C-alpha cells in the first residue's frame, strides 16, 4: 500500500516556465513533508520541507504548498532552469519528522530549452 503517491512518472516543462510537481498521501499521522531532488548515482538532495502547521513554505525558486484536508502537497519551481532536470521525490514522516521517511516513487522532471 503506497502511502505517498506521485502519480506523474514524468513531466516536461519549457525553460523559464513554472514546474508543478504533485504528491498525495494517505496516512493521517504524517506531519512533516519534504521534497528531494535526485541525480543518478547520487543520494537524494534536500530541497525544501514543510510542517503540517503551515500551508506554504518558500525558498528562492522553490515553494511547497500543503493542503491537509485533501492530503495533497505540491512543489512549484519558478522559473524552471535546465539544471532542474532530475527525479524529484516527495517524502513524508510522522512524529514531527523524527520517524523514517516514506517516499513516493518519484517524478522525472525534464526542462526543455
- Size of the residue set binding another protein (CB under 8 A): 24
Q: Per rule CB under 8 A, is residue 36 in the interface with another protein?
A: yes
Contacts of 107 (CB under 8 A, 6+ apart): 6, 8, 9, 10, 11, 21, 22, 87, 88
Q: Per rule CB under 8 A, is residue 100 in the interface with another protein?
A: yes
Q: Per rule CB under 8 A, is residue 88 in the interface with another protein?
A: no
Question: Least distance to another protein from the beta carbon of 46, Å?
Answer: 5
Question: Least distance to another protein from the beta carbon of 16, Å?
Answer: 28
**Which residue carries 506531519 as its cell?**
31
Amino acid at each position: 500500500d503506497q502511502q505517498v503517491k506521485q502519480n506523474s512518472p514524468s513531466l516536461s516543462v519549457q525553460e523559464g516556465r513554472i514546474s508543478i510537481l504533485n504528491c498525495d498521501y494517505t496516512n493521517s499521522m504524517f506531519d512533516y513533508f519534504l521534497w528531494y531532488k535526485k541525480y543518478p548515482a547520487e543520494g537524494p538532495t534536500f530541497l525544501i520541507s514543510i510542517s503540517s502547521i503551515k500551508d506554504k513554505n518558500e525558498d528562492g525558486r522553490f515553494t511547497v504548498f500543503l493542503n491537509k484536508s485533501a492530503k495533497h502537497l505540491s512543489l512549484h519551481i519558478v522559473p524552471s532552469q535546465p539544471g532542474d532536470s532530475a527525479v524529484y521525490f516527495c517524502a513524508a514522516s510522522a512524529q514531527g519528522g523524527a520517524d523514517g521517511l516514506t517516499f513516493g516513487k518519484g517524478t522525472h522532471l525534464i526542462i526543455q530549452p
